[in-house]
Amino acid sequence: MSPSGIAAIAAAFGISVATIAVLANLTTRLPQDAPNQRSLHIRSVPRAGGYAIWAGFLPALLWFPPLFPGGFTGWMLPWLAVAWVSAHDDIRGVGVRVRLTTHVVAALWAASWLVIHAAPTTGSTFMNALIAIVAIALLIAWSSNLYNFMDGSDGLCATMTLVGFGAFGVAALPAGDAAVPYLALAAATLPFLVVNRPRATMFMGDVGSIPLGFLAASFGIAGTVTGLWPAWFPLLVFLPFIADATVTLVRRIARGDRLSAAHRDHYYQRLNRLGAGHTGTLSLYLVLMAGTCATALGCLLVAPVWGMVALGLWCVVCSIVFAAIDYHWRKSLPDSP
C-alpha cells in the first residue's frame, strides 16, 4: 500500500474523531432513539453516529475510489438515495413503502452495474442476466435491512463493521491501494465504537446501519466480480449478522407473525434479555465475528478451495449457538415462542 493510501486511512480516522467530538456537544439537538417494543435500552439516546462514519469515509473515497463496475455511478448514486431516505427516517419518519421502494430501486441499480460488468466474461444471455440482477438486488436490499435489524445492542453493528470491512481490506492488500476504501471505512468506524460500546452514549441511527448494509453486500459482490475474492468470502465474513437476521426472519414467517411489527426475537436480543446484557452479548458475537473473519482470511490466503467447507462449518457453529440460546430462552420463559 502506498504512503498516500495510509494517509487516506489516517485521515478517515481523524475526521471521524473530530465529527464524534462535535456530535457529542450537540446531543440535545440530535435525533433521539426513544425506547420502544424493539429496544433493549431504557432511555433516549441520540442517533447520529452514522454521520461521523461517513464524514471520515467519503473523503478517502474521493482519493481512492473502490473497485466497482461503473465507478461512482455504479454504487454511490444508489448509496446516496439509501442514505438520504434513512437520514429522513431518523429525523421525522418515512413510510415503509417509501423506504423499501428506495432500497429495492437502489439495489437494482447497483446490481445492474455488477451484472453488466460480469456478463461479457460469463457469456450470460439476456434472461440469465435479468435473473442475476434480480437475485443480486434482493441480496443487497436484504443486507441493507438486516444490518439495521442487527443494530439493536450496544457496540454490535459498529464491531461488525470494524471487523468485517477490516477483513475486506486485509483481503484486498495484495491489490495494493484497492484495500484503502475498506480499511478507511473500518478506521472511520472505530471512533464511533468508542461512544457506542456498552453503555452506549450514541447510536448509529438508520443513516448509519442501512447504508452500511448496502455497502457490505455491494462491495462484497463487487469484490467477487472484480476478482478480489471468491463469492463465499463476504458471506463468511458477515455470517454472524446474516445468520441471526435470516434465521429470525424465517422463523417469524413460519409462525405467521406480522413482519412489520416491532419485536425482540433476534438471537442477540434474546441473549441480551436472558441476562448477558449488552456487554455479554457483544462479547459472544465478537468471538463469532473474529472467528468467521479469521477463518475467511485464512482460507483465502492459504487454501481457497476450503472456503465453502469453512462456510458450512461456521453455519453449523452458529446453529449450535442459536440452539443453545433457544434452549435457555424456553427454559427461562416457557410461554415464549
Give ∠ CA 328-281-201 in degrees, rounded to 5. 140
Q: Residues 198-230: pLDDT tens digits?
A: 988 999 999 999 999 999 999 999 999 999 999
Q: Which residues pair with 224 in a beta bridge?
A: none
How far apart CA 95 and CA 129 sit, in angstroms, is: 32
Question: Which three cell numbers, joined as nine digits, stand for 221?
Answer: 459482490
CA–centroid distance for 15 within its chain: 21
Helix and strand totals (H; E) in the chain: 13, 2
What pLDDT does residue 120 have?
A: 59
Strands (E), the chain: 32-33, 45-46
Give dist(CA 306, CA 136) in Å, integer: 24
Angle CA 218–220–221, to nearest 5: 70
Q: What is the mean pLDDT of residues 163-178?
A: 96
Residue 108 has pLDDT above 80, yes or no: yes
How far, in Å, are 32, 172, 259, 261, 282 from residue 256 at the CA level?
32, 42, 8, 12, 30
Q: pLDDT class for 37, splitting at 50, 70, 90?
A: low
User: What residues have CB less than 8 Å from 121, skipping those under 6 apart?
Assistant: none
| pLDDT digits 0-9 by tens, 52-93 | 999 999 999 988 999 898 888 889 999 999 999 999 998 888
> What integer pLDDT is reported at residue 31 of this predicted model?
80
Inform me whether the pLDDT recorded for 307 exceeds 60: yes
Q: Closest Cα to residue 214, out of 156, 162, 145?
A: 145
Predicted local distance difference test score (pLDDT) of residue 298: 96
pLDDT (mean) for 302-308: 94
As a whole number, the mean pLDDT across the chain is 91
Rounded Cα distance between 266 and 281, Å, is 12
Q: Domain limits of the chain?
A: 3-332
